[in-house]
Structure 1
Amino acid sequence: MDLTERPRRLRRDGIRGLVSETDLSASDLIAPVFVDATTDERVAIESMPGHERVPVAEAVDRVEEIRDTGVEAVIVFGIPESKDEAGTRAWAEDGVVQEAVRRIDAGTDAYVITDVCMCEYTDHGHCGILEPHAHEDPTLTVENDRTLDALGRIAVSHAEAGADMVAPSSMTDGMVGAIRESLDEAGHSAVPIMSYAAKYESAFYGPFRDAADGAPAFGDRRHYQMDPANSREAIREVELDVQQGADVLMVKPALPYLDVVRDVREHFDRPVAAYNVSGEYAMLHAAAENGWLDLEETAYESLLSIKRAGADLILTYFAEDIAARL
């Protein structure tokens, strides 16, 4: 037996770390923050253990808690005080995200990203302006082109409040181009766009919809989010966003779509982000609570696999816990 090749030689303590191929650091992580205009106190998110909605008055404190762990960037989601069919609170000057970002920008040195979408702000829970009769006809959902103007207004309102980056998540065709044009016309040409470029219609979003109060009141999002069966389509989607000026390209969810993360990494020369979504977080917590898995070890291994697949940035609810380990 020829044993001249012995890979185990490089797995011993001392050398193991030196030859490690993938490095995960706190600066790779982005922590989601939920700011709620309807409450004066923190509200636990039951399906996402360890996470809370925080009132606007505590947005700075929440971000400082995250910064203390070594995580440098946050992405802000808002729960508005009221909703309507057109989602008008999404771009209101005194909206929940706008007010929270102003405070975070003035009170911390965090890098602030904002989610640009309408599902949290519309009374129907869909990601844009509805087509006529969409309530009655399940084949109808969001009117794509009318939604673009609203997304541009939202992005500008976030930039004017102090957002460092905007992240459109609605999977509206042309959203990156419309937002880039709106930002540039408003004098915010330096604000980058992190596009949810390949966002799938996934069963892993359930806990997030509890957290952000953004579940559809009827129907689903399969007509505008991607089919989980499709990977080649993701390259087409991402390429369109690159052509329209996207600065960072996101794949969402992460773990069930590591093949897509790798494909995007290999095809494009932009930074790649992956969203380790709420369902991925919740299932590890559920298994750990039953004693089936070690939470910290499986969380770390999950994030390491996302980085190994090609992600430069990882949005994750594990950010604070893993940053402490790192």
Structure 2
Amino acid sequence: MDLLNGIFIAPFVQMADAPDFLVQVLWEGFVSGILYALIALGFVLIFKASGVFNFAQGIMVVFAALTLVGLYQKGVPVILALILTMAVMGILALAVERFIMRPLVNQPHVILLMATIGLTYFLVGLGEFVFGGEPKQMITTELGLPTGSTEIPFGAQGVVILQHIDIAAAVIAIAMVTALALFFNRTRIGRALRAVADDHQAALSVGISLHQIWAIVWFASGLVALATGIMWGARSDVSFALEIIALRALPVLILGGFTSVPGAIVGGLIVGIGEKIGEIYWGPLLGGGIESWLAYMIALVFLLFRPQGLFGERIIERV
């Protein structure tokens, strides 16, 4: 009886007794969810263009953030450091297209997956060699990102605290997701991307350059990685531990669908809010730590009943 009360009654009583705290938890889950969606978007872009899961997206987040901070620490002005970091991600995109994607075109997807795993370890070694392995502090104020917090009265005596960096992170993430969604849905390059995703050979037959599309997509994914690294780094530190956070986007992809931009957004919000609510209200019952595995359990349920995700396309093969 006590177990049933702890699962089905007590958490909802706590929510009703402290609505301001519930709103605080929902807000923090929303911010985490939007940032998860931004990470997942980088995976979606690569998967839409090549049909392969880019295992290196997590280390790209770390590498971009380390490059920005490292350049600034070496005396480069912040705006120039930001521009140079974007240029570095562009060079990385061209290198990946020339030395990985182009030689492996039309190879089985598992070969491309293994290539991205190799790219991951290459970037880890390069990042440690150039920037060192110790955590670094993100240049938040230098980039013009806000600090501090605002307290908003809620109810009779409650209050909700909004960190300014969280507000900025949410706004920037929403703006980037919206801009990329419009770009890939309303522009000629976006239509070419969808054609490449559907059929490489058909896209080639109508004059679409796979090499150009792949370079553009990897560069866009690099920019997403940079924005993600800045936002997550501002909330904690810039370290190789961010790679693990980036891979937490895998449940987001399973929920939303590997090829869907709206799915990345919805999946990110489900995971972010679900993690926070589960950890705060059901965590004590299970000894804590729900936040580290709840998203994967949700993803497992989706794999059993809807493996293509909420917005993914059901693939039917007739034999």
| Same structural fold, with TM-score higher than 0.5 when normalized by the shorter chain | no
Which structure carries more helix by proportion?
A: 2
Larger RCO of the pair (alpha carbons < 8 Å, separation 6+): 2
| TM-score (normalised: structure 1) | 0.28
**Structure holding more strand per residue:** 1
TM-score, normalised relative to structure 2: 0.28
